[in-house]
Amino acid sequence: MDLFMKLVIIYCIRALCIIVFMMTLSWKAMVYFTIFLVSLYFLPLFPRKSSSSERKPAKTKDIIAELYPKTEEAVLAKQVSDAIVTLVSYDVEDTPSLQGFETIKQNSNCVFARKAKIWGSPAWNYDLNLDGNIFRILPMLVKFTIVCTNERLDAFLIELPGHMYGDSLQEFGDGIYKVLKILSDNDPADAHCIDKPYIDKRGWVFEFNKVTFFITTFAPFYPESHPRYSFGAKNCYILLQPELSFAFHDLPPDTPETNWDRPKTVRDKIRVAFKEAGRSYYIPDSIYSPMVHEILRPICDQDSYYEWWRNGKKSQ
């Protein structure tokens, strides 16, 4: 049976059903049924909602209020803070700088080194110059200075590429100057310690956001007999240690005297450990020696200091 015959049979059955239905109704029933159908069309049970074309045009302020409802000030401030933190933050405890520094940390003769809690700088961005890379560090260094006391943090680590700054003492010194100058220029507390006229005198200390730091540096050019030896690490490191971290470990006051035969204090034990490892370090005759001398040690103790704080070049 083809499709045409099927359609004919279906329509005949429908027509027959309608005829039988109409024959069973009286004429009054037909009238009432017709009136009912008409009422459904002209008088719906529920009024139709006006279409969008029938609405009054919305005002701009109403549109803005609908799209951007006002938020409480406290909630808004937290949203802004969270957005900024997300934009500039990174995992400070899992960075390439910390991974590269691990060999120095594990092999150091300092008794506190292996367990030190350190935050690291992010991976070096070679699309930026030195300035740009240090600017990326600033937000997390500010956070470090705020939380270091409560979280008992020991240091903030800055890594510089060895092939750019690790070939010579002068090259590294110029990089150190540039790094510390950028940090100093952007100090939230406006101390600007690098610009102090007494930077090479006793009493000067590196300061950022009202936290004072002792700075230690490591580089590939230092020999194995040097206390700043990097144990094969290929990059250069600037370790910013807040001075209050020494108090965390009950380190006694600095002194030029050392009990070499019977070390008693932690400081004595650290000095003896470095000496026994063949990496004894120079101990100034006075605790008032300029701190800038400790930041970048000469390769040999007999060598003169490279005055990185005076001769910093425009490192790129």
Angstrom distances, CA of residue 78 to CA of 58, 150, 298? 32, 22, 48
Return the pLDDT at 54. Answer: 57
User: What average pLDDT does the segment 140-149 reach?
Assistant: 94
Whether the per-residue pLDDT at 59 is higher than 50: the answer is yes
**pLDDT given for residue 314 in this prediction:** 40
SS3 3: helix
pLDDT digits (tens, 9 = 90+) for 18-41: 676 667 767 666 666 677 666 655
- Within 10 Å of residue 133's Cβ, how many Cβ atoms? 22
Task: Give the residue with greater pLDDT, 231 vs 110.
Answer: 231
% residues pLDDT > 70 (the chain): 78
> How sure is the predictor about 119, in pLDDT bands with cuts at 50, 70 and 90?
very high
**Percent of the chain whose predicted confidence (pLDDT) is above 90:** 51
Identify whether the C-beta of residue 155 lies closer than 8 Å to the C-beta of residue 245.
Answer: yes
Return the pLDDT at 312: 46
Average pLDDT of 89-111?
A: 92
In a domain, 57, yes or no: no
Encoded tokens for 178: 């540039």
Domain span at 291:
92-295
pLDDT in tens, 198-230: 999 988 999 999 999 999 999 999 999 999 999
Total domains present in the chain: 1
Residue 290 has pLDDT above 60, yes or no: yes
In terms of pLDDT, which residue wins out, 70 or 299? 299
The length of the chain is: 316
For residue 139, with 0-12 CB atoms within 10 Å meaning exposed, 13-18 middle and 19 or more buried, which class applies?
middle
Q: Please report the pLDDT score of residue 130 as a whole number.
A: 96
On whether residue 134 sits in a domain, the answer given is yes
Pick the closest to residue 181 from 202, 161, 199 (CA basis): 199
Residue 307 within a domain: no
175-195 confidence digits (pLDDT tens)? 999 999 999 999 999 999 999
The answer to the question of residue 83 being in a domain is no
What per-residue confidence (pLDDT) applies to 25?
65
d(CA 262, CA 239): 30
- The residue with greater pLDDT, 186 or 2, is 186
Top pLDDT among 252 and 312 is at 252
Question: Looking at residue 9, what is its pLDDT?
Answer: 77
Whether 223 is covered by a domain: the verdict is yes
Identify the three-state secondary structure at position 316: coil
Name every residue whose Cβ is closer than 8 Å to that of residue 141 and which is 6 or more positions away in sequence.
156, 183, 208, 209, 240
What integer pLDDT is reported at residue 83 of this predicted model?
67
Asked whether residue 11 is domain-assigned, the answer is: no
Mean pLDDT for the chain overall: 84
The answer to whether position 226 is within a domain reads: yes
Rounded distance between C-alpha atoms, residue 49 and residue 257, angstroms: 93
CA atoms within 13 A on the CB side of 76: 6
| Whole-angstrom distance, CA of residue 225 vs CA of residue 170 | 20
Q: What is the pLDDT of residue 10?
A: 73
What is the distance of C-alpha 211 from the center of its chain?
A: 19
Kindly tell me if the per-residue pLDDT of 279 is higher than 50: yes
Q: What average pLDDT score do residues 57-84 get?
A: 72
Residue 315 has pLDDT above 50, yes or no: no
Contacts of 185 (CB under 8 A, 6+ apart): 192, 194
Q: Is 155 part of any domain?
A: yes
Q: What is the pLDDT of residue 271?
A: 81
* Whole-number pLDDT of residue 248: 73
